[in-house]
Amino acid sequence: MSMTIRDPWNLLDQWRQEMEQMRGNPENRDDTTSVVGSDWMPAVDIKEEDDRFVLFADIPGVSTGDIDITLENGILTIRGERRHEATESKEGFKRMERQHGVFIRRFSLPESVNAEAVTASGNNGVLEVVLPKTAPALSRKIEVK
C-alpha cells in the first residue's frame, strides 16, 4: 500500500496564484513560468547588489551533477532532479513530505545581466547563481558638424 499525502489548502493556494497570473495581477506576478512535468519547485531568493544579482535556491539532497542551468534569450532555467535513495523504503514511514523528482524554475532576467559571466556553485544544499551586471553605458555629448 502506498501512502500519498495531499494538502488541499496548498493545492487551492497554487490554483489561486495561477489564476492571478493568468489575469495579469501585477501584485502576484511571479518571474517563473509554470512548467508541466515539474514534480516540485525549490524555494528561491533573489538579491540585487550594485554590481550583480545573486539567486539562492534551496535544493537539499540534489547533487550538483543533477542540476542543469541554461541562459537563453534572457531566460534563466534551472532544471534538476532529486532522486529517491535506493535504500529508502516506504514501509515504516508514518509521513512522507519530502518531494522527489524533477524540478524546473525559469526566471526572466533584465537586459543588464552579463550572460557571459554567470557562475553557479552549490554548498550545503543551497545553489548560488551569480549574475553580474554589465557596465552601464556612459553618456556623452555628440557634437553636430
Residue-wise pLDDT tens digits, 27-58: 444 444 545 567 788 999 999 999 999 999 99
Dihedral, 58, 62, 76, 13 alpha carbons, nearest 10: -50
Q: Would you say residue 139 lies in a domain? A: no
Query: How far, in Å, are 18, 42, 104, 135 from residue 98 at the CA level?
Result: 23, 11, 17, 42
Question: In this structure, what DSSP letter does residue 110 have?
Answer: -
What strands lie across the sheet with 67-72, from one edge to the other?
A: 67-72, 75-82, 101-108
Q: Would you say residue 122 lies in a domain? A: yes
Q: According to the model, what pLDDT value does residue 99 have?
A: 76
Instruction: Give the residue with greater pLDDT, 89 vs 30.
Output: 89
Question: In this structure, what DSSP letter does residue 43 have?
Answer: -
- The CATH number given to whatever domain includes residue 60 is 2.60.40.790
Domain that holds residue 73: 31-87+97-132
Residue 127, Cβ neighbours under 10 Å: how many?
21
Residue 98, Cβ neighbours under 10 Å: how many?
11
SS3 46: strand
Q: According to the model, what pLDDT value does residue 119 have?
A: 96
Q: Would you say residue 143 lies in a domain? A: no
Give burial (CB, 10 Å; 0-12/13-18/19+) of 71.
Answer: middle
Range scoring the smallest mean pLDDT among 28-32, 85-89, 103-107: 28-32
- Cβ density class 40-50: b for 16+ within 10 Å, e for less: eebebeeeeee
For the chain, what is the domain count? 1
- Written as nine digits, the cell of 109 is 532576467
Question: In this structure, what DSSP letter does residue 3 have?
Answer: -
Q: Would you say residue 128 lies in a domain? A: yes
Q: Which residue has the cell 543551497?
A: 126
Whole-structure pTM value:
0.66
